């Protein structure tokens, strides 16, 4: 086996066949991939609608406590597809490799993808490999796209949030962003923080069963909770108010944010879900989250209200001191290449 990625691995010829056989098929071959055609042919249940989403992953470093770029790539798209209420079934996977990247690292990434895909219950059914010259990429970029199926009657979306609804988050904020930052800057005193990267499709299914009138799910990745809530407020033409004291944040993450000047509400998460539900189903949704593998720290953190006339759709934070401030969408860039 080759030790490094070479331009020929992206050639369409016999070297590409070799990397496909020895790396990708070895990690996650299924019938569709092994068939060797240009597109995968897939069955779906009668009467389904599709949910379709895509994400590219450019995180650096590629390996970090709690995960790696491969785990992120599978979880990110699984979670995006699942936010619609769909059951994610199939993933595509496109690699853009840089000449010289160690094949051993690529194998480790693929093994991680296979493992978390299995946990999520999705299959990688089609793929693509490109190689760029040394100095024109950054080791490995991954695109995953995902297809899921939606049962009739499930219609979720930010536009459905209504005054009176409750806002839930499935766990602690900021773990992923602070982990990446501490790795990048080699801040070893944050050694006990790790990324939350996780597939949340089972958690979402559990919540939907317990609270069938959920308005929407949204994963607060880049831009953090602040950007996610601002998007929802804008989509639904409402205000949202969050109680700072009710938002779960690990002490180490809170400490890191204070020391480094980050707003934890703008830090990226990769294994958390925001959920808006009618008030009378909030407790049921919370219980379903807490009973799920990745939802033990879930909390009801705020509520939706009618938009204040003439002031746009605002997100407010009621602070621990009793004051209220506007929680703005992230402007510019806080932590580049977080996912």
- Chain residues 315-334 in contact with its own copies, contact rule CB under 8 A: 329-334
The least distance separating its own copies from the CB of residue 121, rounded to whole angstroms, comes to 17
b (16+ CB within 10 A) / e for 255-287: ebbeeeebbbbbbbbbbbbbbbbbeebbeebbb
Give whichever of 57 and 101 is closer to its own copies, judged by the CB atom. Answer: 57
Q: Which stretch binds its own copies (CB under 8 A): 33-41, 112-120, 201-209, 285-293?
A: 33-41
100 near its own copies (CB under 8 A): no
Phi, then psi, of 241 in degrees rounded to 5: -120, 130
b (16+ CB within 10 A) / e for 329-339: bbeeebbeebb
Interface with its own copies (CB under 8 A), residue from 47, 261, 310, 322: 47
Phi, then psi, of 147 in degrees rounded to 5: -120, 130
Interface with its own copies (CB under 8 A), residue from 5, 10, 161, 172: 10
Q: E strands of 80-154, at which residues?
A: 87-98, 123-132, 140-150
Q: Which stretch binds its own copies (CB under 8 A): 111-119, 129-137, 197-205, 206-214?
A: 129-137
The least distance separating its own copies from the CB of residue 17, rounded to whole angstroms, comes to 7
Interface with its own copies (CB under 8 A), residue from 2, 21, 35, 163: 35
Give whichever of 179 and 334 is closer to its own copies, judged by the CB atom. Answer: 334
Q: Are strands 63-64 and 67-68 parallel, antiparallel or unpaired?
A: antiparallel
Q: What sign for the dihedral angle of Cα 211, 264, 249, 292?
A: positive
130 near its own copies (CB under 8 A): yes
Smallest CA-to-CA distance from 279 within 205, 211, 206 is with 211
| Element housing 3 (H / E) | none
6 near its own copies (CB under 8 A): yes
The least distance separating its own copies from the CB of residue 41, rounded to whole angstroms, comes to 6
Q: Which stretch binds its own copies (CB under 8 A): 206-214, 215-223, 256-264, 278-286?
A: 215-223
Question: Mask of contacts with its own copies, 231-270, x by CB under 8 A?
Answer: x---x------------------------------x-x--
The least distance separating its own copies from the CB of residue 337, rounded to whole angstroms, comes to 6
Enumerate the β-bridge partners of residue 300. Answer: 168
Give whichever of 203 and 323 is closer to its own copies, judged by the CB atom. Answer: 203
Are the C-beta atoms of 7 and 131 separated by less than 8 Å?
yes
Are the C-beta atoms of 204 and 82 separated by less than 8 Å?
yes
191 near its own copies (CB under 8 A): no
199 near its own copies (CB under 8 A): no
337 near its own copies (CB under 8 A): yes
The least distance separating its own copies from the CB of residue 71, rounded to whole angstroms, comes to 17
Enumerate the β-bridge partners of residue 276. Answer: 167, 216
């Amino acid at each position: 086996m080759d030790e490094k990625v070479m331009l020929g691995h992206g050639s369409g010829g016999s070297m590409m066949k070799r990397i496909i056989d020895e790396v990708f098929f070895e990690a996650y071959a299924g019938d569709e991939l092994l068939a060797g055609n240009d597109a995968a042919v897939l069955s779906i249940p009668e009467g389904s609608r599709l949910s379709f989403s895509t994400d590219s992953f450019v995180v650096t470093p590629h390996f970090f406590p709690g995960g790696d770029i491969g785990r992120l790539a599978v979880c990110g798209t699984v979670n995006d597809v699942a936010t619609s209420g769909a059951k994610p079934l199939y993933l595509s996977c496109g690699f853009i490799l840089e000449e010289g990247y160690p094949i051993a690292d690529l194998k480790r990434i693929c093994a991680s993808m296979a493992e978390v895909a299995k946990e999520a219950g999705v299959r990688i059914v089609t793929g693509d490999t490109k190689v760029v010259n040394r100095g024109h990429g950054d080791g490995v970029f991954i695109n995953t796209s995902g297809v899921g199926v939606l049962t009739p009657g499930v219609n979720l979306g930010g536009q459905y949030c209504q005054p009176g609804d409750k806002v839930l988050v499935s766990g602690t904020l900021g773990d992923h962003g602070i982990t990446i930052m501490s790795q990048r800057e080699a801040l070893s005193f944050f050694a006990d923080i790790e990324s939350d990267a996780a597939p949340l499709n089972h958690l979402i299914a559990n919540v939907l069963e317990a609270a069938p009138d959920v308005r929407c799910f949204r994963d607060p990745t880049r831009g953090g909770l602040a950007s996610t809530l601002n998007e929802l407020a804008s989509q639904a033409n409402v205000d949202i108010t969050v109680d700072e004291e009710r938002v779960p944040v690990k002490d180490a993450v809170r400490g890191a944010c204070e020391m480094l000047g980050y707003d934890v509400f703008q830090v990226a998460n990769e294994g958390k879900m925001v959920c808006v539900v009618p008030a009378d189903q909030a407790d049921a949704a919370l219980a379903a989250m807490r009973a799920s593998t990745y939802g033990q720290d879930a909390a009801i953190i705020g509520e939706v209200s009618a938009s204040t006339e003439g002031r746009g759709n605002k997100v407010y934070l009621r602070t621990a001191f009793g004051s209220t401030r506007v929680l703005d969408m992230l402007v510019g860039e806080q932590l580049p290449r977080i996912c």
